[in-house]
Amino acid sequence: MKIEKPENYELPKDVADGGTFDELVTFKVEGEYLVPTMIGGVEIVSEDDTEESKMAENATPEEEAAASEMEKAPMRGMGKRIMGMA
Amino acid sequence: MAIPAFDSAFAEVVSLPKKEQLARWLIKVKGSGSVSEYATLPDRYLYAKIAVAYGCPLDEASYISQPIIYSINAIYRKVAASSDNGLLFDDMKTGLGSVVAAIRGDQNISDRLGFYIDLPEKYQLALAAVS
């Protein structure tokens, strides 16, 4: 069944961004605790803290090649190393 | 309350490889671009581009030349409207979780902030890309 959209109707912002926290996350009760089980309708599966979860900064050869191509473009060169943040 | 539009987008992004998630996040912030244009770049480049897309103060080459955590800190300060200087976070999981909390406006609610920090990375990145 379709409902005609009222004039000037806009979807609530929550619909687009996942809603409130309570709408986004589903919990189960374990004793005195709430344990998150789903987020955005997707089951939360813990990852072991090994290969996938490590945010390695070492690029693969393919990545370096892609980066090298990018750096050929103007304004893409490596700048001086800045140790502090502005 | 079910949120079908968000759930569908989130489910799609959470299953993507990490680089494609980062590319999706970048495209969302930039408002243009394609996943194939960015998904072959090293993570450090992608985070640098995201930082610049958010309007962080340094140029892209500067963020590229630093560890990723510097870009994460810069993004957090921008998203959370924080005026702090220096490193707020020194580990990626805390930094990325805090960024996601800030994107969702939950950075000042401690139990929610803890939830985002504890989330596995693929969920953090998917939230950043679609929220």
So what's the pLDDT on residue B93? 94
Spell out the SS3 assignment of B62-116.
HHHCCCHHHHHHHHHHHHCCCCCCCCCCCCHHHHHHHHHHHHCCCCCCHHHHHHH
Q: How confident is the model at residue A30 (pLDDT cuts 50, 70, 90)?
A: confident
So what's the pLDDT on residue A55? 52
pLDDT reading at A24 higher than 60: yes
pTM, to two decimals: 0.78
A64 shares contact with chain B (CB less than 8 Å): yes
Over chain B (131 residues), the average pLDDT of each successive run of 10 is 76 96 97 95 97 97 96 95 80 95 91 93 96 87
What is the rounded distance in angstroms from the CA atom of residue B41 to the CA atom of residue B38?
6
Least confident of A16-20, A24-28, A60-64: A60-64
Identify the H or E element spanning A14.
helix A13-17
So what's the pLDDT on residue B87? 75
Check B42 against A64: CB less than 8 A apart: yes
Rounded to a whole number of angstroms, the distance from the CA of A28 to the nearest CA of chain B is: 14
Domain ranges of chain B: 18-130
